[in-house]
């Protein structure tokens, strides 16, 4: 009789035990799912924070280095519009690649190199419709075979000085020289230049466009004129 009662009790508790076990298992699975979701949100937040920090650094580099990079690209590519396009392509590539590879030790040199290769690749793609662009791309690649990573700050400043001489060439009208220098060397927008000279922005834009066309069509060189220097003891004088 007692054995029968015990069997009855065990048989009554067995479904309850299974139900409790299943509930505990579901609870554990639910907790694991919540942990995974929280971990994913934390990873997304960290990734967003890293991306935002990278964008801020790239923006800061653009404000401080873009005109220096642009001046060097002008020397390497020999064309204002091509250099401007290469500049923006280089910074766009920086946002994509630096997110995975990290910021290089010399960001300016990286940007110059990336811009140059982007420009050459773009010319090669367009060469399908214009054979002269293929010749230009190969010439640029041959002339600039040595990568610009080795350029020091003095070389970069020489590029900026060279660009100033080009923008201020005597063959250009005085008002065009000023507008082109402020736009390409200083990085001012057309609207900012127009406000400074109380001129309509389209007028300033036309001056800049005509000045670039004059430089291209007249073959105005990208170089600076250096005065001869003599030395007297430790003193220097320019003649």
**Tens-place pLDDT, residues 83-134:** 999 999 999 999 989 988 888 999 999 999 999 988 888 888 776 655 555 5
Ranges of each domain in the chain: 154-239
Check pLDDT > 70 for residue 168: yes
> 169: pLDDT confidence band, cut at 50, 70 and 90?
very high
| 154-239 topology per CATH | Arc Repressor Mutant, subunit A (1.10.10)
This prediction has a pTM of: 0.65
Cα 81 to chain center, whole Å?
16
Instruction: Indicate if the alpha-carbon torsion angle 18, 21, 25, 31 is positive or negative.
Output: positive
**Tens-place pLDDT, residues 129-146:** 555 555 555 655 565 554
Residue-level pLDDT at 19: 76
- The dihedral over CA atoms of 181, 183, 187, 189, expressed in degrees to the nearest 10, equals 150
Q: Which region, left, alpha or beta, applies to residue 141 given φ > 0 means left and ψ of -120 to 50 means alpha? A: alpha
Instruction: Indicate if the alpha-carbon torsion angle 171, 173, 178, 180 is positive or negative.
Output: negative
């Amino acid at each position: 009789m007692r054995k029968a009662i015990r069997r009855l009790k065990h048989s009554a508790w067995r479904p309850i035990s299974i139900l409790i076990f299943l509930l505990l298992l579901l609870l554990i699975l639910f907790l694991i799912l919540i942990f995974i979701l929280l971990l994913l949100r934390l990873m997304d937040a960290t990734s967003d924070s890293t991306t935002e920090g990278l964008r801020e650094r790239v923006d800061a580099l653009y404000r401080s280095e873009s005109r220096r990079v642009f001046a060097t690209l002008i020397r390497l590519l020999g064309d204002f519009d091509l250099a401007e396009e290469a500049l923006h392509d280089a910074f766009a590539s920086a946002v994509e690649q630096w997110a995975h590879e990290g910021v290089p030790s010399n960001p300016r040199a990286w940007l110059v190199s990336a811009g140059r290769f982007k420009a050459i690749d773009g010319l090669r793609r367009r060469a399908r419709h214009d054979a002269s662009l293929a010749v230009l791309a190969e010439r640029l690649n041959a002339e600039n075979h040595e990568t610009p990573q080795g350029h020091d700050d003095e070389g970069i400043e020489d590029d900026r000085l060279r660009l100033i001489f080009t923008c201020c060439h005597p063959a250009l009208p005085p008002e065009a020289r000023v507008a082109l220098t402020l736009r390409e060397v200083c990085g001012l927008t057309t609207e900012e230049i127009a406000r400074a000279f109380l001129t309509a922005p389209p007028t300033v834009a036309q001056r800049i466009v005509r000045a670039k066309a004059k430089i291209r069509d007249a073959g105005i060189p990208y170089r600076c004129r250096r005065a001869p220097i003599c030395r007297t003891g430790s003193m220097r004088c320019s003649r």
